[in-house]
Amino acid sequence: MLSRRGVLPGFGLSLGYTLLYLGLMVLLPLSALAYRAAGLGFGEFFRIATEHRALLAYELSFGISLLAALTNAAFGLLLAWVLVRYTFPGRKLVDAMIDLPFALPTAVAGIALTALYAPTGFLGEPLARLGIQVAYTPLGIFMALVFTGIPFVVRTVQPVLEELDASVEEAAAILGATRLQTFTRVILPGLVPAALTGFALAFARGVGEYGSVVFISGNMPLKTEIAPLLIVTKLEGYDYAGATVIACVMLGVSFLSLLAINLIQRRLVRPL
Amino acid sequence: MSAAASPPPPGQRMYHGHGTPAKTEGRLARLFLIGAALTFWALFLLAPLVIVFGSALSEGIEVYLAALADPETLSAIRLTLLASAIAVPVNLLFGLSVAWLISKYDFTGKSLLITLIDLPFSVSPVIVGLMFVLLFGARGWFAPLLEALDTHVIFAVPGIVLATLFITAPLIAREVLAVMQAQGDSEEEAALTMGASGWTIFRRITLPKVKWGVIYGVILCNARAMGEFGGVSVVSGHIRGETNTLPLHVEVLYNEYQFAAAFAVASLLAFLALLTLVLKQFVEWRAHKKLHALSMQDVPAPLSLPPTPGVSS
């Protein structure tokens, strides 16, 4: 199965170590999950997977992750555009801070967003007066997922935008396109694959996100209970079978959606 | 996902709005776009950070310092440092091995291997915790063995270390691999023809070449290891003074309505995050400079800035 090419020594050692580590650290735990799920039998698996409470949790997790990733796509494009194309005071600081959601532990982000959007919070209070409650509602989950997803689209689109050939835009302008036409017909198509990658990453991250969401969501079963929290709840009740089933469904849907995005992307890239 | 180039030096290919109007946006449109982007940035990135430090000091500096000097906080700091002190070297070794294997050889199954290495990114941290419970928990695969050895993994320190190792596994590997691939291996091959051993080549040629990639990966891995929450939360059991890492201690304090103390501990982690961002900027700047100094031709930038899915969770 392994036909090697390359003249440098160390193939056996690096292959052996890599496979051993991956096998023990990644594949063994995953197979424990798969084995536990398989042991339940199809009927039992299906019954747990489609419980009312579980269905609502998937709907919440996948639905809000989708909305948050869409928001990230739009504002990620905007941020990347502004950071690459314009100069303004503090641009480097704004750029550096984009990675904050990667660097800030999610538990910290979670309590900070909750404090910000609680009915007595800095932003929560004025919003509450307008009749909008953010913390402890699905809107709060949305806010947390937008926060965790910000860097993905910005960091995938930014390098592509930097590499864009300015002469194409000039050509479009000379041929009489308005700036908006140039953007939507010339620039945007080039950015879509990168934005889609960022969108998919933000979505996948949002689906599995736990730390930044549990504080702001309020964790009410059937209302603001995300799927990862349902896993934790089931584990705390020593319901290993239940936790395993929800985990398998989540992993399955995540992999399928990443696969679908990959396929869409191949279609998008081919004609270029 | 493709490795993306790092940002160009500031000022390069910047649009200043000279030239015909249709080649760039009007002044008003530009101001509007910048305004919208900055508003979003301030609301979502700046405000949470300000709130952390503001709330930490809301009950005065004494409460702040008392929260940090609390024995449970100190024990959480120790455990967080321990988890990171294990996760970083172990994953560094793994990362170097992966990078060497993938950048130096072609073999069947290589793309499958790359997918496997990235796999931990697409698994929810909570599910990571669950998998280790299924392996090492009271009714897990290894329960009889652990019982015979009279030791515990779940609700104990080893479980925390394992969950951290899984979640941070790809971080160093990705960064080192990107740099090693970009650098090529002509020097290594030259050294080989001159009779250097594989180990010498690795130590004297490859390692110095990928130094900044390694440092970059270590910074990301360390940040994630120290900030990990979901996976660690499942396996820790929240035993105060024993199995609480810093992020878990934040949760415990917050749930006990000790808000100022929770934010005080959180401010340590926020400070760590800021330090990570500064170091990251520094490494990007150094690596960029080094690369330009090294080569006249247009070499692909070594430091990929792909979104590293979830440096923190």
Q: Check residue B303 and give its pLDDT.
A: 45
pLDDT 10s digits, B200-228: 999 999 999 999 999 999 999 999 999 99
Q: How confident is the model at residue B185 (pLDDT cuts 50, 70, 90)?
A: confident
CA A161 to chain centre: 21
In a domain, A13, yes or no: no
Q: Which of B46, B132, B262 sits opposite A29 (nearest CB)?
A: B132
Predicted confidence (pLDDT) at residue B68 exceeds the cutoff of 90: yes
Mutation pick from A3, A18, A203, A226 vs chain B, by most beta carbons of B within 10 Å, is: A18
Q: Which of B26, B45, B129 sits opposite A100 (nearest CB)?
A: B45
Extents of the domains making up chain B? 26-56, 60-294
Q: Check residue B239 and give its pLDDT.
A: 85
Cβ neighbours of residue B161 under 8 Å, at least 6 residues apart? B82, B83, B86, B87
What does the pLDDT average to over A1-15? 77
Q: Check residue B6 and give its pLDDT.
A: 47
Q: Check residue B293 and give its pLDDT.
A: 59
**Least Cα separation, residue B201 to chain A (angstroms):** 9
**Distance (Å, rounded) from C-alpha B234 to C-alpha B243?**
11
In a domain, A70, yes or no: yes
Block residue for tokens 């160093």: B172
Q: How confident is the model at residue A268 (pLDDT cuts 50, 70, 90)?
A: confident
Predicted confidence (pLDDT) at residue A177 exceeds the cutoff of 90: no
Which of chain B's residues have a Cβ under 8 Å away from the Cβ of A108? 52, 227, 247, 250, 266, 269-270, 273
What does the pLDDT average to over A219-246? 92
Q: Check residue A174 and give its pLDDT.
A: 87
Q: Check residue B111 and give its pLDDT.
A: 86
Q: Check residue B301 and give its pLDDT.
A: 43
CATH number for A224:
1.10.3720.10
Mean pLDDT of chain B: 86
pLDDT 10s digits, B102-157: 999 999 888 889 888 988 888 999 999 999 999 999 888 999 999 999 999 999 99
Mutation pick from A58, A99, A244 vs chain B, by most beta carbons of B within 10 Å, is: A99
Q: Are B127 and A209 in contact (CB under 8 A)?
A: no
CB contact, 8 Å: B73 with chain A?
no
**Least Cα separation, residue B197 to chain A (angstroms):** 8
Mean pLDDT of chain A: 91
* Structural domain containing residue A207: 42-269
Question: What are the φ/ψ torsions at residue B180 (nearest 5 degrees)?
Answer: -65, -40
Q: Which of B98, B202, B230 sits opposite A10 (nearest CB)?
A: B202
Q: Check residue B127 and give its pLDDT.
A: 96
What does the pLDDT average to over A127-148? 94
Q: How confident is the model at residue A260 (pLDDT cuts 50, 70, 90)?
A: confident
Q: Check residue A143 and give its pLDDT.
A: 96
Predicted confidence (pLDDT) at residue A218 exceeds the cutoff of 90: no
Neighbours of A38 (CB within 10 A): 13
CB contact, 8 Å: B23 with chain A?
yes
Q: Which of A5, A27, A146 sits opposite B105 (nearest CB)?
A: A5
Pick from A52, A69, A255: nearest CA to A145: A69
Considering only residues B294 and A61, tell me which one the structure prediction assigns the higher pLDDT. Answer: A61
Q: Check residue B23 and give its pLDDT.
A: 63
Q: Which of B4, B48, B52 sits opposite A147 (nearest CB)?
A: B48
Count of domains forming chain A: 1
**Least Cα separation, residue A23 to chain B (angstroms):** 10
Q: Check residue A78 and give its pLDDT.
A: 96
Q: Check residue B292 and give its pLDDT.
A: 59
Pick from A98, A74, A78, A75: nearest CA to A86: A78
Q: Check residue B291 and give its pLDDT.
A: 60
Q: Which of A26, A103, A198 sits opposite B277 (nearest CB)?
A: A103
* Binary contact (A78, B44; C-beta < 8 A): no
CA neighbours within 13 Å on the CB side: how many for B82?
18
Percent of chain A clearing pLDDT 70 (strictly above): 97
In a domain, A142, yes or no: yes
* Binary contact (B124, A97; C-beta < 8 A): no
Tell me, what amino acid is at A36? R
pLDDT 10s digits, A64-100: 999 999 999 999 999 999 999 999 999 999 999 999 9
Closest-CA residue of chain B to A181: B22
**Distance (Å, rounded) from C-alpha B246 to C-alpha B80?**
6
Mutation pick from A4, A13, A104 vs chain B, by most beta carbons of B within 10 Å, is: A104
Predicted confidence (pLDDT) at residue A262 exceeds the cutoff of 90: no
Q: What is the rounded (10 degree) CA torsion for A113, A119, A121, A126? A: 110
* Binary contact (A78, B40; C-beta < 8 A): yes
Pick from A198, A231, A251: nearest CA to A68: A198
Q: Which of residues 194-233 of B touch A (CB under 8 A)?
A: 197-198, 201-202, 220, 223, 226-230, 233
pLDDT 10s digits, B267-307: 999 999 999 999 999 998 888 776 655 544 444 444 444 44
Pick from A45, A148, A52: nearest CA to A101: A148
pLDDT 10s digits, B45-61: 999 999 999 999 999 99
CB contact, 8 Å: B274 with chain A?
yes
Considering only residues A232 and A265, tell me which one the structure prediction assigns the higher pLDDT. Answer: A232
Q: How confident is the model at residue B241 (pLDDT cuts 50, 70, 90)?
A: confident
In a domain, A115, yes or no: yes
**Least Cα separation, residue A55 to chain B (angstroms):** 18
Q: How confident is the model at residue A6 (pLDDT cuts 50, 70, 90)?
A: confident
The verdict on pTM exceeding 0.80 is: yes
Question: What are the φ/ψ torsions at residue A120 (nearest 5 degrees)?
Answer: -105, 0
Predicted confidence (pLDDT) at residue B198 exceeds the cutoff of 60: yes
**Distance (Å, rounded) from C-alpha B226 to C-alpha B167?**
11
Q: Which CATH architecture has domain B60-294?
A: Orthogonal Bundle (1.10)
Q: Which of A32, A78, A113 sits opposite B141 (nearest CB)?
A: A32
Q: Check residue B212 and give its pLDDT.
A: 92
Percent of chain B clearing pLDDT 90 (strictly above): 67
